[in-house]
Amino acid sequence: MILRLILRRLLFLCLVIWSASTIVFFIPRLSKTNAIRERFAELSRTGGFSPADLEKIIASYSQQFGLNEPLTQQYREFLGNILRLDFGYSLNRYPMTVTDVIMAAIPWTLGLLLVTTILSFLIGNLLGALSAWPRAPVWVRTIATPFVLLTGVPPIIMGVLLLFFIGFKLKLLPLGGSYSIGIVPDGSWTFLIDMLMHQILPALALILGSVGGWVLSMRGMGITIQGEDYVNFAEHKGLTARTIFRDYYLRNTLLPQATALALALGTVVTSAIVVEGLFGLPGIGQALNSAIRSNDFPVIYGIVLFITAAVATLMVLMEFIYPLLDPRIRME
């Protein structure tokens, strides 16, 4: 049963990646715009290329990228390259490949996403559960209310507000970038502390905008199970409030939240990309913004496909984590 489930989920993952790859391949080709011509036409306006030289460059790149071949042949080669994790060359950073661009940006995005997602999930669920727990102190509800009010503020707006008040007005934290000018990225404590200081504002923009949603959903789940028989039975057994809250209350409300986390992964990744562009972090968001500004279409397509595959993979992994959260679930 477990093997059948794993194979079924892997087949679903492959189907999602194939669908995304097909869309990424065909949609640009439905347009009459030539990505290579657009890119070098833009460079010719500032670089002084002659028309004859420009046509030779475009013909050379078109042959190198395989654009002169039939569409079916291009599609087969494109799928084969995807299987080898070869997304082609970057037009703006040639001879760097798209994979090199993505690999250089992943550590920054992954670090920001891991920290903000885990912190917002833990803080939001804990505050939501405590705010619905009848025996919780009043100050817990007081702390949870501001986070709920910030739920409707998009992360990009939250980032602008933090930049203006904390970075510009109060000058408590850097305005942007990955580390200060003049700091050598050598792994020393000076570099690490400076880098962490630059990550605080973008992390706060993502956390403050998402904690309130977890608080609301967790509070609703907590109120729902307060009258359940197993909670009342635990209270009649004389168990301590901490044991009831941890083993009977919190654990039974965690599974729907894990499902919500899997569904929110796409939004979380998108928000992180937008915030990275705002704060100038050298992550996937900055690479995507740079590719859009320079008409670097291979990088744009590669990043979109990479994000789609990553989110689909995370959603499949979350399904295998469910039995660890709730033993009543079986992989059947």
Task: Provide the whole-model pTM.
Answer: 0.75
How far is the C-alpha of 191 from the C-alpha of 180, rounded, in Å? 9
* CATH architecture, domain defined by 108-294: Orthogonal Bundle (1.10)
CB 209 within 8 A of CB 271: yes
Within 13 A of 204's CA, how many CA atoms are on the CB side?
16
**CA 235 remoteness from chain centre:** 41
| Distance between first and last Cα of the chain | 5
The torsion angles phi and psi of 236, rounded to 5 degrees, stand at -70, -25
The pLDDT, as a whole number, for residue 258 is 77
The pLDDT, as a whole number, for residue 155 is 81
- Give whole-number Cα distances, 148 to 105, 217, 329, in Å: 32, 10, 31
At what angle are helices 51-64 and 35-47 packed, to 10 degrees? Answer: 150
Q: Show Cβ contacts of residue 159 under 8 Å, excluding neighbours closer than 6 positions.
A: 201, 202, 205, 275, 278, 279
- Give whole-number Cα distances, 70 to 73, 75, 114, in Å: 5, 9, 43
The model's pLDDT over 133-181, given as tens digits with 9 standing for 90+, comes to: 777 777 777 787 788 778 778 888 888 888 888 888 888 888 777 777 7
CB 13 within 8 A of CB 65: no
SS3 of 97, please?
A: strand
Q: Show Cβ contacts of residue 64 under 8 Å, excluding neighbours closer than 6 positions.
A: 89
- State the alpha helices, DSSP H only, in the chain: 2-30, 35-47, 51-64, 71-83, 98-132, 138-149, 155-162, 189-225, 229-236, 241-243, 251-279, 284-293, 297-325
- Give whole-number Cα distances, 247 to 49, 241, 243, 259, 327, in Å: 71, 10, 6, 19, 13
- Residue numbers of the chain with a pLDDT score lower than 50: none
The model's pLDDT over 281-315, given as tens digits with 9 standing for 90+, comes to: 888 888 888 887 777 777 888 888 888 888 888 77
